A and B are shown apart, each in its own frame.
Chain A
Amino acid sequence: MNEKEFGQKLRPWLQRSADQVGELQATRLRASRLKAMENWREPVSLLGLVQVSGGTVQALRYTYLQRALLVLPVAALLAALALQSVTSDGDFGDLDAALLTQELPPDAYLDQDFRSWLHKSTRG
């Protein structure tokens, strides 16, 4: 007996039971059915080997996406810090060399007036 024949045989029994269901139970059953229909997704073939419910695949993907979004900024921060720790001496070398060889002497950058002008220019 295949799935269709089984369904047809079962149908009158279910119909008879359905007639005896009260209004409240019928409403609950309808709501559950609608919810189940909403959640149903076409089965998806994984690597052509296994058929998996589309809902399961979607839930898995969603979870991974959520996790990735959560972890990504922290991972980026960690990577930036690690990179900084590796290259900080080199960076200071470039920066200090630039600072020492520009037109202004280093004490200009400690001058309160200069810093205040810079602050105003940055805001303006």
Chain B
Amino acid sequence: MAAQVHARLIAAAFALLLPLLAGAQGRDLKTPQTPWSNLPVEEQRILAPLSGEWDRMPGYQQKRLQSTARKYPGMQPIQRERFEERITDWATMSPNQRKEARETFQGLQKLPPDKQHELRERWLKKREATQPPPGNPPAAPPR
């Protein structure tokens, strides 16, 4: 008898849980779009590199970018510079790519600082080896 009651309780809890999980997915798709013209002036200034594509972006992406842009006033100058350089590429990534990047970033944050530093240095060295430094285009072939 008690086991039946417990089983019913668990079933009821899952019945409540499933729509909630499904709702989290559906919520992304239902988020209404915000036209560029409706953005506050300060957000328009920060998100200016995205003005051209803004109205074609899904509502959930706009909301996340707005939420990210709200952190801008509290950033250090070097962080602002990086933000401005990277925001366009970030916005053009697919949702899956952004999700994967977030997961990897969070994974990195969980490592001890010396390990994080080691991995960052390793990747920067790899990039230096594979890409010419910015502003130094590859030498023109001899005539």
Contact = CB atoms under 8 A, between A and B. Distances in A.
Interface in B20-40: 20-21, 23-24, 27
B23 A109 contact: no
A110 B97 contact: yes
Which DSSP category, helix, strand, loop or mixed, fits chain B's interface? helix
B71 A94 contact: yes
Nearest to B116: A121
Interface of B: 2, 6, 9-10, 13, 16-17, 20-21, 23-24, 27, 63-68, 70-72, 75, 78-80, 82-83, 85-87, 89-90, 93, 97-98, 100-102, 104-108, 110-111, 115, 118-120, 122-124, 126-127
A104 B78 CA distance: 13
Interface stretch (A11-19, A34-42, A50-58, A74-82): A74-82
B24 A85 contact: yes
B67 A89 contact: yes
Interface of A: 63, 66-67, 70-71, 74-75, 77-78, 81-82, 84-85, 88-90, 92-111, 113-115, 117-118, 121-122
10 contacts: A70-B6, A78-B17, A81-B24, A92-B67, A96-B65, A109-B104, A113-B126, A118-B119, A121-B111, A121-B119
Contacts of A71: 9, 13
A93 B21 contact: no
Given A85-B20, A85-B23, A101 B107 contact: no
